[in-house]
Structure 1
């Protein structure tokens, strides 16, 4: 399983692979990339070749790319970034859950980058395995330093701070909430539109207060919470759908 420096985020590293491209009703295409980027020894993944094959067939004016990925091969990530940047279509990237590592590089190709509510972005230094003598390790080190410079070049096309700051953020494996990604310039906006989900958990205290407010409102009493019947009914309906 992929491991992050920040242990509390390691549970996010396992994302079921989904890769598909579909024509929308309007002049746009939707591409979904969930899971690992690049060829994987451990399971399904999405490679730069997969993306190239899809992009060669797209003539729509807009591509909506939906991302939820812990990352993967940095060179595949850079290749996909350049494929998207060089495509004639307008590219809108939607971070549905996670855009980490190589996936965050892909996200930088967006003409418009939208962080969906609750999504996150992570950037870090490139990593590799090395075996051999000190000369072999030095070659690996030199290669990693060169890759990191290339990665910083990509982030700097959006980042609003200094180059030294993004370099330090890479070294520390930095995680951004959706709002934070927008604040530093790595994303354009947060999509605050959240569709009501029948599987949403209802907080017990919230449910109790909604019942009390509805009963008090029916009795003509002043509710102790700021809203009244309308919000109470909404919460009750959510609870009833879950119970069914």
Structure 2
């Protein structure tokens, strides 16, 4: 079952341990993204990035305290993921991505969008072709296929633009219909990770 954070309770009613850790981390501009990407994650993460940018209005970029985004996610909704990517890329306050465990699928793309990227030495990464369930009449399936191609191009363009990974490498992964797993040393070579911590 998916983890849900409860933000409706206050200190007098008591927080769960995870909720308290999450809220304490926010005070230091650390955002934790450790679940499947969906509209709730967009609300929690993107809105916090926008809030910190609002707090920093008028400050030179070099004087802004970076936002730390700690990602441990297997991916999820492509649309919600791109919404979060837009929030990161449009953030004037630097967003630093941290991978301590794994970033996969849409989590991989979100991590790649961060302005500076850190990873632990046992971190793991996974890229694969976007997937969807399609059913209905032939014309409906054709429309979904067309939309998937558009989203896949956006996804690949982001990876190619923000790393040293070439499009022909991504095409080979998709042609083999497989998931591409790799570790931190390869991620460094590919320019996905900037610094191992």
Q: Please, what TM-score do these two structures have when normalized by structure 1?
A: 0.63
C-alpha distance in 1, partners of 2:86/2:50?
14
C-alpha distance in 2, partners of 1:166/1:51?
28
Q: Please, what TM-score do these two structures have when normalized by structure 2?
A: 0.77
C-alpha distance in 2, partners of 1:88/1:102?
22
Give 1:166 shift: 2.2
2:95 is equivalent to residue 101 of structure 1: no
Aligned to 2:89: 85
2:37 is equivalent to residue 37 of structure 1: yes
C-alpha distance in 2, partners of 1:165/1:100?
17
Aligned to 2:14: none
* SS of aligned partner of 1:131: coil
Structure with bigger RCO (C-alpha 8 Å, 6+ apart): 2
- Alpha carbons of 1:34 and 1:101: their partners in 2 closer, same or farther (altered >3 Å)? same
Any gaps of 5 or more consecutive residues in structure 2? 5-17, 56-63
Select the structure of larger CA radius of gyration: 1
Give 1:155 shift: 0.1
- Alpha carbons of 1:15 and 1:157: their partners in 2 closer, same or farther (altered >3 Å)? farther
Give 1:54 shift: 1.3
Aligned pair count reads 168
Task: Note the alpha carbon deviations across 1:110-137, whole angstroms, 9 max, x for none.
Answer: 1211111211111111111111122222
CA root-mean-square deviation: 2.1
Any gaps of 5 or more consecutive residues in structure 1? 1-13, 40-45, 192-244
